[in-house]
Amino acid sequence: GMVLFFFNLGGRDLWEPDETRYAVVAREMVQSGDWILPHFNREIYAEKPPLFFWLVNLSTFFLGENNELSNRLPSALAGLMTLFITFLFGERLFNLRVGFLSALVLGTCILFPQLSRWMMLDSLFTFFLLLSLFYFYLGYEKEGSRRKYYYLASLFMGLGVLTKGPIGYLPLLILLLFAFFQKDVKKFWNRDLLWGCLLSLILVLIWWLPACWIGGKEYIYWLLFK
């Protein structure tokens, strides 16, 4: 797994258009000192929330240099951890063999490791989405620890929203469909889930409200309608 995601990670230039654009957004965040609203060529960049760019700058800070490796490292780490969560989820749902084969299949799909080696949001978003599903499932199965697992799931769901927008709430729909087909929606939909969703929403609003205050009406219009 380490070789698959990290070997020669910084060995090529950033590719157009996505990698170069995201690199500029992350760099301008540092240069401007505006950590709330991402900017691209000094214009507000409203297409993506800021979490991915925060992590890129954190990577650059720890590695001490802004280069291809530091820009791609968050995606590669997320890809590797997604393999691990896939293994745990498969083992939990079925058995150890299924968990191992599930991670093996994901790791040997050409597109997943490839995207994880690019400076793109997809790998990080996939990681948060899968973590949300994993902890929601644990909460669904373990009634005694439900609140803890639902809160963890909601935390990662909020981080998914801060990575790629409202699609981060997709785990709720998936788990609702799962509970429906299990003919046990009441087991899934309970007070712990509602409190967890509120926690997730608060996490998102901590960024979203200041962003709308700073960005003004045009930014709010872009977020809501474009």
Q: What is the pLDDT of residues 144-179, one digit of tens each?
A: 899 999 999 999 999 999 999 999 999 999 988 888
Q: What is the mean pLDDT of residues 210-224?
A: 88
Taking the whole predicted model, whether its pTM rises above 0.85 is answered as: yes
CB count within 10 Å of CB 23 equals 20
Average pLDDT over residues 89-98: 96
At residue 73 the predicted structure's pLDDT band, cuts being 50, 70 and 90, is very high
Q: Residue 2: pLDDT above 90?
A: no
Q: Which of 47-61, 72-86, 146-160, 184-198 has the lowest mean pLDDT?
A: 184-198
Q: Is residue 171 reached through a cis peptide bond, with omega within 30 degrees of 0 on the bond before it?
A: no
pLDDT in tens, 9-56: 998 899 988 999 999 999 999 999 999 999 999 899 999 999 999 999
| Cα separation, 11 vs 174, whole angstroms | 38
Under the banding of pLDDT at 50, 70 and 90, the label for residue 194 is very high
Residue 3 pLDDT class (50, 70, 90 cuts): confident
Say what the pLDDT of residue 225 is: 78
Q: What pLDDT, in 10s, does the model give residues 99-136?
A: 999 999 999 998 999 999 999 999 999 999 999 999 99
- Neighbouring CB atoms inside 10 A of 178's CB total 16
Task: Please choose, from the candidates 58, 52, 29, the residue with its C-alpha nearest in 3D space to the C-alpha of residue 41.
Answer: 29
Query: How is residue 83 written in tokens?
Result: 């393999």
Q: How far apart are CA 75 and CA 123, in angstroms?
A: 5
In angstroms, the CA 204 to CA 64 distance is: 29
Residue 185 has pLDDT above 80, yes or no: no
22: which 2 tokens?
Answer: 């995201």
CA distances from 37 to 80, 103, 112, 123, 207 (A): 29, 36, 29, 22, 9
Q: Please say whether the dihedral angle defined by the alpha carbons of residues 101, 102, 107 and 111, taken in this order, is positive or negative.
A: positive
Instruction: Take residue 59 and report the two structure tokens written for it.
Output: 């990577």
Confidence at 209, pLDDT banded by 50, 70, 90:
very high
Roughly how many angstroms between the first and final C-alpha of the chain, as a whole number?
38
Q: What is the DSSP letter of 66?
A: -
**At what angle are helices 96-108 and 68-93 packed, to 10 degrees?**
150
Structure-token pair, residue 183: 């003919």
CA distance 109 to 55: 25
pLDDT at 135: 96
Bond from prior residue into 38 cis (ω within 30 degrees of 0)? no
List alpha helices for the chain, DSSP H.
Answer: 2-6, 18-32, 51-63, 68-93, 96-108, 111-116, 122-141, 146-164, 170-181, 185-188, 191-225
State the DSSP H helix or E strand holding residue 44, giving kind and residue range, or none if neither.
strand 43-44
